[in-house]
Amino acid sequence: MDLTFNKNEDHNKLKLSELRRRLAEVKLGGGKKRIEKLHAQGKMSARERIDYLLDKNAPAIEIGAFAGDGMYAEHGGCPSGGVVVKIGYVKGKQCVVVANDATVKAGAWFPITGKKNLRAQEIAMENKLPIIYLVDSAGVYLPMQDEIFPDKEHFGRIFRNNAIMSSMGITQIAAVMGSCVAGGAYLPIMSDEALIVDKTGSIFLAGSYLVKAAIGESIDNETLGGATTHSEISGVTDYKAKDDKDALDRIKNIVDKIGDFEKAGYNRAEAKSPIDNPEDIYGLLPSSRSDQYDMLEIIKRLVDNSEFEQYKEGYGKTILTGYARIDGWAVGIVANQRKVVKTKQGEMQFGGVIYSDSADKATRFIANCNQKKIPLVFLQDVTGFMVGSKSEHGGIIKDGAKMVNAVSNSVVPKFTIVIGNSYGAGNYAMCGKAYDPRLIVAWPSAELAVMSGNSAAKVLLQIEKASLEKNGEPLDPEKEQALFDKIKQRYDDQISPYYAAARLWTDAIIDPLDTRKWISMGIEAANHAPIEKKFNLGILQV
């Protein structure tokens, strides 16, 4: 191992250590004291409920752990968006589980809470996975009601999705394990089956105080909408459980009896580990996002037997395309090559930049994968499309549009891993969030933005400098550097993978060694949903 490898390894392992530390903080939700308060009430925390429900020693992945990270400081914060979402196995069946975290503002819904719940439902609908709701929420967070209540992608969309999933035959099970009030009361009742926990669970459109104010009736919450009321009088719920564990055991029994599903038919062979050591990734991935490296070496440490069959290996070299297996599943990989390459004509092309020939190659390969029903994996480390007169005259916009068209119209499931840079239109062409990847995750080394912090700061500095000079306030070199540093720091904060994850532009930040698990579980989920559309590129400027 050389010195550069060791420096890279130290840098990336420090980033991984930071990821683990921040995840540990997030998993405490509203804090240890609030968790202890739940326990005193005879309740489990959201994470404890999910851990008890999911099969032991089976893999699971968490969606949106960093949702809300650094947001809503004036309201006390909203760790994990106040809701925990995992994809895992219940009695051997893959399911999506959504659990309100009552330690965060009593499980109230912030804007990011709604976005995260909608993401969970989107995953369930795209993959036709059963979805389980563990409800314990005070409803909409009233100080921000105008940002969560009325719009198309707000709170009400949840119930619309309940109805759509029911018509699609997607199993929905809800357990009311705490408060379930106002509009939120519709969620469990629009599910296929609903459970309620005695003494701690309650459902009503308006609580006792509001009932008193509205119609003058005096009644306690338990009589108004407790477990006995809804299990024996209103018939709103289907099962009454004595405590949290009893409710979760009943859910396991219900899921255990769900019939098999129609398969999409993605090819899977016996899984094999990579021959090249995956831990080498930490040393291969450079500490600087501008440094060059060979993406092929990363791919070899992600795929079964380290075997990667390249498509058009000698053409369009700044994008690598080819076939491989990940945990046995056949995949087509589209990856940005991050080293400088030489064309047959002797021209040098920059790594991480998409040229006309590489866009053309990727378009053809995506079409091939759709024809063969092979899921696509995008490995992003892209600075954008090549610029300049030569590229413009050569039709880079046209070729880039073809690639974006192919990604947009692809009908096989797509999975995106943001390894390094994810800048500008390169993010789009390499299947960014706007292009419906089934799952999109980032490594701790990722950066997502229109352009790098350094480039953006230079552009913004020139604009600011021109404005000041126009007003007769020229900058001396020292003040100019100070302004540049201030602008760059602000921009760098926004390109962090944590900034993206907080806003659900990605589903998670993961250890690179977990990449195989995420892709494998993602394809297994996608296998629940047979392809219903034909691949059609529409009209292209050829």
Measure the CA–CA gap between 385 and 393, rounded to whole angstroms. 14
Measure the CA–CA gap between 293 and 271, rounded to whole angstroms. 28
Instruction: Provide the pLDDT for residue 112.
Output: 97
Measure the CA–CA gap between 229 and 210, rounded to whole angstroms. 19
Which element (helix H / strand E) includes 495? Answer: helix 477-495
Topology of the domain comprising 31-256: 2-enoyl-CoA Hydratase; Chain A, domain 1 (3.90.226)
Contact 457, 482 (CB under 8 A): no
Q: Extract the residue ranges of the chain whose pLDDT is less than 50.
A: none
Instruction: Provide the pLDDT for residue 541.
Output: 60
Which element (helix H / strand E) includes 133? Answer: strand 131-137
φ and ψ at 13, to 5 degrees? -70, -30
Instruction: Provide the pLDDT for residue 542.
Output: 56
The four Cα atoms 243, 245, 246, 252 give a dihedral, to 10 degrees, of 150
Measure the CA–CA gap between 430 and 442, rounded to whole angstroms. 13
The reply to whether domains 1-28+264-446+506-541 and 31-256 share a CATH topology is: yes
Instruction: Provide the pLDDT for residue 64.
Output: 98
Q: Under 8 Å CB-to-CB from 193, ≥6 apart: which residues?
A: 172, 173, 174, 238, 239, 254
| Assigned architecture for domain 1-28+264-446+506-541 | Alpha-Beta Complex (3.90)
Domain ranges for the chain, please list them: 1-28+264-446+506-541, 31-256, 452-494
Measure the CA–CA gap between 261 and 165, rounded to whole angstroms. 15
Which tens digit of pLDDT belongs to each residue from 414-438?
Answer: 999 999 999 989 999 999 999 999 9
Per-residue DSSP letters for 73-94? GGGT--GGGGEEEEEEEETTEE
**One-letter-per-residue 3-state SS of 184-248:** HHHHHHCCCEEEEECCCCEEECCCHHHHHHHHCCCCCHHHHHCHHHHHHHCCCCCEEECCHHHHH
Instruction: Provide the pLDDT for residue 154.
Output: 87
Q: Is 146 helix (H, G, I), strand (E, B) or coil?
A: helix
Measure the CA–CA gap between 316 and 371, rounded to whole angstroms. 21
Instruction: Provide the pLDDT for residue 1.
Output: 60
Per-residue DSSP letters for 398-433? HHHHHHHHHHHH--S-EEEEEEEEEEHHHHHHTT-G
